[in-house]
Amino acid sequence: MKAFRSAESLEMDITLSLNEIIALDNGDALEGEIKVTQLREGYYIKPLIITRGIIEKDEMIRRTLMPFNCRFENIQQYGITLSDEAIKNLKETGATGQRISEDKIMLYSEKYARN
């Protein structure tokens, strides 16, 4: 898993291997780290957990912050929950994404990211 988030552009890009996508499809949780960049402060690393789960029917991806609803500078961990449809898109097309509030979250397979 390779994960990056830009505080300035509010974009999160996550690249997963085929084995990681299969693990998500089987219901396993993925644990890794996300590199969060900020223009003036450089970057820092935060824990990231990606799971498969049931979310609102008009959502494909749900982002959670730990602690819940905290300010950007107080985030201790990121969580991403993918719907069945999001995982299906990852397997079939190599990419899936959604805009959440002002954040744009994109997930890619390694093969898709290389093209």
Per-residue pLDDT of the chain (115 residues; tens, 9 = 90+): 999 988 777 788 999 999 999 999 999 999 999 998 876 778 889 999 999 998 887 889 988 888 877 776 778 899 999 999 999 999 999 999 888 777 788 988 987 766 5
Write down the residue that tokens 């107080």 correspond to.
74
Q: Are 46 and 77 in contact (CB under 8 A)?
A: yes
Q: What is the pLDDT of residue 115?
A: 53
Global confidence as pTM: 0.86
- 3-state secondary structure string across the chain: CEEEEECCCCEEEEEECHHHHHHHHCCCCEEEEEEEEECCCEEEEEEEEEEECCCCCCCCEEEEEECCCCCHHHCCEEEEEECHHHHHHHHHHCEEEEEECCEEEEEEEHHHHHC
Range of the domain at 99: 2-114
In one-letter notation, the amino acid at residue 70 is C
- Find how far residue 34's CA is from the centre of its chain: 9
Instruction: Report yes or no: 39 and 70 within 8 Å, Cβ to Cβ.
Output: no
pLDDT of residue 64: 85
Q: What is the pLDDT of residue 113?
A: 63
Residue 48 pLDDT: 96
pLDDT of residue 100: 76
Q: What is the pLDDT of residue 35?
A: 93
Tally of structural domains, the chain = 1
